[in-house]
Homo-oligomer: A and B are copies of this chain.
């Protein structure tokens, strides 16, 4: 009686992004776990139990799914975007590391999905076309000082930066502080993209500059991409601009 836990990436919101592999993993599951709004994206089925939980409860959700799988069940834990990017895969690994031996015997499968930064990038051109990094602005689990250190490293290294979890009710000032930190290193005209609810009905994309970015509204459903000094715009008549970071860099700045 060895159970199975699949941690399934739903992608950025619409079923257009759900891979056949993820669809299969949802189909075979007896029980579904996940943050309520993510779980709501999966059509209900009478022969499948559903266990929604709140946003902040990653650890309890991971443990509940592991306990259920350890009873011999086929369990799917759903995640928006990709479960490996600031999402449930790390949380489950943490619980397996700290939990009972039976959890290390489970068949654990992680099913990748399209994470927000690639969906937002695709909407605007190729802002991540050169070296880039992804940083979560949540300081719930790491000191803000470390976030600033990483923003410095990213900007000095010439990386394009994707900012996850830019804002929440409990963290209203972090995005402004992060943009100000990047502005120490980057030109005022550096392109900045705000992508909100990409792939959903209420999707919105804002292309602005590093100077103007602090005035743009953002929330928990927003992903922010800050260009490097190389990132540029192609203006198009009657169409939104394309944002891209060229593949070639001629020389290394000091």
Cα A108 to Cα B244 in complex, Å, equals 13
Tell me, rounded to whole Å, the shortest Cβ–Cβ distance linking A100 to chain B.
Answer: 13
A142 within 8 A of B: yes
A38 within 8 A of B: no
| A–B complex contacts, Cβ < 8 Å, 16 sampled | A11-B19, A17-B19, A83-B126, A84-B118, A84-B126, A84-B127, A89-B121, A93-B126, A94-B246, A108-B242, A110-B121, A110-B123, A112-B121, A133-B154, A153-B157, A157-B157
Per-residue interface assignment for chain A, residues 65 to 94, with 1 indicating a CB less than 8 Å from any chain B CB and 0 otherwise: 000000000000000001111100111111
15 more A-B residue pairs beyond the given contacts A112-B118, A131-B134, with a C-beta to C-beta distance below 8 A: A17-B19, A82-B114, A83-B126, A85-B128, A89-B125, A89-B126, A94-B247, A104-B234, A104-B237, A110-B125, A111-B122, A114-B114, A133-B133, A142-B248, A146-B158
Tell me, rounded to whole Å, the shortest Cβ–Cβ distance linking A146 to chain B.
Answer: 5
Cα A158 to Cα B152 in complex, Å, equals 12
Within 8 Å by CB of A19, from B114, B127, B142, lies B114
Task: Please tell me if the beta carbons of B131 and A252 are within 8 angstroms of each other in the complex.
Answer: no
Within 8 Å by CB of A96, from B9, B93, B157, B242, lies B242
Task: Please tell me if the beta carbons of B110 and A236 are within 8 angstroms of each other in the complex.
Answer: no
A43 within 8 A of B: no
Q: Most chain-B Cβ atoms within 10 A of its Cβ — which of A9, A24, A84, A123?
A: A84
A19-B17, A134-B132, A251-B143 given; A121·B246 CB < 8 A: no
Tell me, rounded to whole Å, the shortest Cβ–Cβ distance linking A86 to chain B.
Answer: 7
Within 8 Å by CB of A141, from B86, B126, B236, B247, lies B247
A16 within 8 A of B: yes
Per-residue interface assignment for chain A, residues 124 to 167, with 1 indicating a CB less than 8 Å from any chain B CB and 0 otherwise: 01111111111110000111011001101110111100000000
Cα A247 to Cα B110 in complex, Å, equals 17
Cα A135 to Cα B132 in complex, Å, equals 7
Task: Please tell me if the beta carbons of B154 and A237 are within 8 angstroms of each other in the complex.
Answer: no
